[in-house]
């Protein structure tokens, strides 16, 4: 596995919990097909949302089976696949430019910006960072992730796994010191592991395992992708949105 520089820092999912598109006053439900909900926790209680509803504060959004939801903000557009759950953070939060995906499918079209801060999509095993692109991330039940890029490029790293492992090592060391036990290797010193990053360009995908192993970028065929109803639906909406922008 190729190691890349540290410092740089999503996407399609089915059933999600993630931090992104902070709950700004400009965030609004622009489309709801089927049953869509908002709640105060990942487990509800839930109340229905509809197109035109404003999204503010810390809330969760959820789609039922055979349901899809679109949210627009100043940062761009996010669409949720059926059986998806994710969390909005208010602008008071430090991570107002990122998302945490537990499981599920989401499509993200992020506007280009001169802001140095990237828009990040996180899963339990990966972080994808962008500034203006179209991509999808899939967070699977086994905690692995798949990131696909349709336009632009995305930096994908395994920071969540590395951070979790470093914290576990630090906890073991602290417990051993507290009990005044002799600390056998490798806990005499804790050397923090560095996370790795790969760059995926248009028509490429990257897979990240639950253990943090990152694949090389893998090319995929756009025509084959279009055979998937979810991908075709998103690309159709993106095309219509693009034409509207051109006519303004």
Longest dimension (CA), the chain: 71
CATH class of 28-156+196-242: mainly beta
Dump strand ranges (E) for the chain: 28-33, 36-39, 46-48, 59-63, 68-73, 76-80, 84-88, 98-100, 104-110, 119-122, 127-130, 133-139, 145-151, 153-157, 197-201, 204-208, 218-219
Q: Are strands 36-39 and 98-100 parallel, antiparallel or unpaired?
A: unpaired
The per-residue DSSP string of 38-88 comes to EESSTT--EEE--TT-B--SSEEEEE-TT-EEEEEETTEEEEEPSSEEEEE
Q: What is the pLDDT of residue 190?
A: 46
From first to last of its 248 residues, the chain has per-residue pLDDT tens of: 433 333 322 344 333 334 445 554 568 999 999 999 998 888 889 999 999 999 887 788 889 999 999 999 887 888 998 888 887 755 444 445 676 777 788 899 988 766 666 778 888 898 888 877 899 988 888 999 999 999 999 999 988 888 888 888 888 877 777 776 555 555 444 456 678 889 999 999 999 999 999 999 999 999 999 999 999 999 999 999 888 877 77
pTM of the predicted protein model = 0.76
What are the φ and ψ backbone dihedral angles of 109, each rounded to 5 degrees? -120, 105
The domains of the chain are located at 28-156+196-242, 159-194
Residue in the block written with tokens 């996010």 = 78
Residue pair 60/101 in contact (Cβ under 8 Å)? The answer is no
Q: What is the pLDDT of residue 170?
A: 82
**CA–CA dist 134, 114 (Å, integer):** 17
């Amino acid at each position: 596995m190729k190691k890349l520089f540290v410092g740089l820092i999503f996407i399609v999912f089915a059933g999600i919990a993630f931090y992104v598109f902070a709950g700004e006053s400009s965030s609004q439900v622009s489309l709801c097909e089927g049953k869509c909900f908002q709640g105060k926790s990942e487990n509800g209680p839930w109340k229905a949302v509809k197109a035109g509803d404003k999204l503010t504060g810390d809330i969760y959004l959820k789609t039922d089976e055979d349901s899809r939801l679109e949210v627009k903000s100043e940062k761009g557009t996010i669409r949720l696949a059926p059986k998806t759950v994710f969390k909005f953070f208010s602008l008071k939060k430090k991570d107002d430019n990122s998302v945490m995906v537990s499981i599920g499918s989401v499509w993200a079209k992020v506007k280009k910006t001169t802001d140095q801060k990237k828009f990040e999509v996180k899963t339990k095993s990966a972080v994808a960072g962008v500034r203006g692109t179209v991509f999808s991330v899939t967070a699977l039940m086994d905690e692995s992730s798949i990131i696909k890029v349709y336009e632009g490029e995305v930096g994908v790293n395994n920071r969540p796994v590395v951070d979790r492992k470093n914290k576990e090592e630090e906890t073991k060391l602290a417990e051993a010191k507290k009990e005044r036990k002799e600390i056998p290797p490798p806990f005499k010193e804790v050397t923090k592991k560095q996370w790795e990053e790969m760059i995926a360009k248009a028509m490429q995908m990257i897979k990240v395992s639950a253990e943090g192993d990152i694949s090389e970028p893998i090319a995929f065929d756009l025509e084959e992708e279009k055979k998937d109803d979810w991908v075709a639906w998103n690309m159709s909406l993106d095309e219509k949105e693009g034409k509207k922008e051109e006519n303004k």
